Amino acid sequence: MISLPFIIVPIIFIVRFGYPPPKLSSSLSFNAKILFIKENHLQSEIDVLAIGSSMSLNNLHTETLKNKFDNKFLNISSWGQNIEEDFRLIKIFDSHYKPRIIIINSGYMDFKNNSKSIDYNLVENYLFENGNLVYRNINLKYLIKESKDYFLKKKDTLNYTSLTFDDCGGINLQKSNFNIDPKRWEGIDIKNLQLNINQYNYLDSISQYCMKKNIKLVFIQNPFRKNYYLNLDDQALNLLGTHINKIKSILNKRNQLFINPKFTFWEDSLFIDYSHFSKEGSKYYTEYCLNKIN
C-alpha cells in the first residue's frame, strides 16, 4: 500500500512549482530547451539554426539574428553541450526543419567529453511523434528536485543558470544587477581541461553532413575577455592555438566558414565572466560575426 506522504509530497511540489520538463537527459537545461521547442516551434519554418553550449545559448544575440533572418531563427543550445551532442541533434532537427544555415558558436571547453546522457530517440519521439510517452520516465525524485529548480531558473534573469528563454530559445544575460561570480570572472585554467580527439572527429562529421545536405555551416570560436586572454601563459596559448588550427583544418577542407575573432579586441566591459557576454556585449559580438558571414 502506498503511504500518504508518498502521494502528498509530489502533489505539493506540482501545485507550488508546476510540472518539470520531460526527463530526456541528465541536464535540466537540455530538458527545458526541448520542452520550449515542443511548446513553441514545432510547426515553425526555420532558416537558421544555432546550436552549441552556453556559448551559443547566451552569446548569440537573438534580436540581431531575428532581424537579419526574418524571424526564421531558432537557438537549440543548452549548458555544456559538446560537439558530439551537437552532431546528433543536428541530424534530428535537420530532418524536420531543413535549415539553410547552422551556426555553432563554440568555446574551447566544448571539445571535452562530459557526463551528460541524452536519449536521442526519446527526444525525436517527444518532439515529432508521440510526446506524451516521455512522461513515463519521470520518477518521484526527479519530480521533486527538478520542478523546484525549473520553477526558480525559468524566472531568474540575474544568474548564469537562468532558463528565461526568449521567443527564439536564446538567453541574453542582462549585465545590470547581474550576480557576477568572482571565480567565473577570473576564469578556468585551460591547461587543466582534457580535450578529446573524438570531439574533433565529430566536428568533421558535422562538416561532412552539412556539405552533403547543402547547409551553410558557420563555426565561430568564442573569444575570452581581453584581460583573461592577455594573462594566459605560453603553454595555455599553445594549447589554444593548436585547438584553433585543428578546427580551421577541418573546415577548410570543405571551404566552410570559420570565424576566429581577434582575442584582444573584446574588452572586459562586454562580459559577465571570462567567456560569457552580457546582453549588450552579445549584440556587439553578433553584429561583428554577421559582418563576417556576409
Domain architecture of the chain: domains with CATH: 4-293 (3.40.50.1110)
64 contact partners, CB below 8 Å, separation of at least 6: 283, 286, 287, 290
Residue 268 CA to residue 188 CA, distance in Å, equals 16
The rounded distance, in Å, linking the Cα atoms of 221 and 104 is 9
Reported pTM: 0.93
* Angstrom distance (rounded) from CA 293 to CA 40: 28
* 102 contacts 49 by C-beta, under 8 angstroms: yes
Phi, psi of 61 (to 5 degrees): -80, 115
Q: Are 154 and 39 in contact (CB under 8 A)?
A: no
CA–CA dist 31, 34 (Å, integer): 5
Task: With beta carbons less than 8 A apart as the criterion, state whether 132 and 100 touch.
Answer: no
For 36, 97, 104, 228, the CA distances from 118, given in Å and listed in that order, are: 17, 20, 19, 33
pLDDT value of position 4: 47
Beta bridge partners of 102: 49, 217
pLDDT in tens, 56-77: 999 999 999 999 998 899 999 9
What's residue 128's pLDDT? Answer: 86
Grid cell locating 56: 551559443
Q: Are 81 and 53 in contact (CB under 8 A)?
A: yes
Segments in the chain below pLDDT 70: 1-17, 42-44, 130-138
DSSP code for 264? G
